[in-house]
Amino acid sequence: AQSVTQPDIHITVSEGASLELRCNYSYGATPYLFWYVQSPGQGLQLLLKYFSGDTLVQGIKGFEAEFKRSQSSFNLRKPSVHWSDAAEYFCAVGDGGYQKVTFGTGTKLQVIP
Amino acid sequence: GAVVSQHPSWVICKSGTSVKIECRSLDFQATTMFWYRQFPKQSLMLMATSNEGSKATYEQGVEKDKFLINHASLTLSTLTVTSAHPEDSSFYICSAVANGYTFGSGTRLTVV
């Protein structure tokens, strides 16, 4: 069965600092990987996704993620964090096509001035 | 891009009543939709998979008689929480497969 681990429950960074959110997955074949962001009380917004091809994926809002098969990881990065990035971030893995997506437990990002 | 519209955004209901949540795909046809539930400070857990024209597939532990799912058309899936109780209070969110699983904005259900 597929699974996702986000080892960091809560991360605090200073505005302008770089950010890396960790995500490890377990899946038997080539995974479909996603990062979503959720602001308080809001729905989910897709930041980026990886299906195949270039392992460095660019997303919206200046985020990028790198798929590393050897490490079963799909870490999310941003070179300079803005206060508006404070939210909860979910990594997810899907088994492709029309199958279900499994979410990690989320990482809450706090941005301090 | 693909848009999934979910209504209502929030609802408060009395214990014992039923609540219907709608999820519509606005600019595409969704043969499959997924319904998730999110408890406070927790991740999203898949409740069921809704397939147009057929019965929904429920995840283990989800009461199908309590959470009724109907997917009568290619653009509409509904989740009805029947005989709601305070423990059903949660954030419910739907998604459809389009550009990487597009999500609705979610529904905050509070049962009092």
CB-side exposure of B10: number of CA atoms within 13 Å? 4
Q: pLDDT per residue over B9-41, tens digit each?
A: 999 999 999 999 999 999 888 888 999 998 877
Mean residue pLDDT across chain B: 91
Mean per-residue pLDDT pooled into runs of 10, chain A (113 residues): 91 97 89 90 85 92 96 97 96 76 92 95
Whether B50 contacts B34, CB under 8 Å: yes
Q: How many CB contacts within 8 angstroms connect chain A with chain B?
A: 50
Confidence of residue B61 (pLDDT cuts 50, 70, 90): very high
Average pLDDT over residues B80-87: 96
Distance CA A34, CA B47 (A): 19
What pLDDT does B67 receive? 97
Nearest to B5 by CA among B67, B76, B53: B76
State whether A97 and B99 contact (CB < 8 Å): no
Confidence of residue B99 (pLDDT cuts 50, 70, 90): low
Confidence of residue B87 (pLDDT cuts 50, 70, 90): very high
| Amino acid letter, B99 | N
Residues in chain A: 113
Q: CB-based contact (8 Å) between A31 and chain B?
A: no
Q: Which residues of chain A lie closer than 8 angstroms to B44, CB-CB?
A: 44, 90, 103
Q: What percentage of residues in chain B have a pLDDT greater than 90?
A: 66
| Amino acid letter, B2 | A
More confident residue, B81 or A99: B81
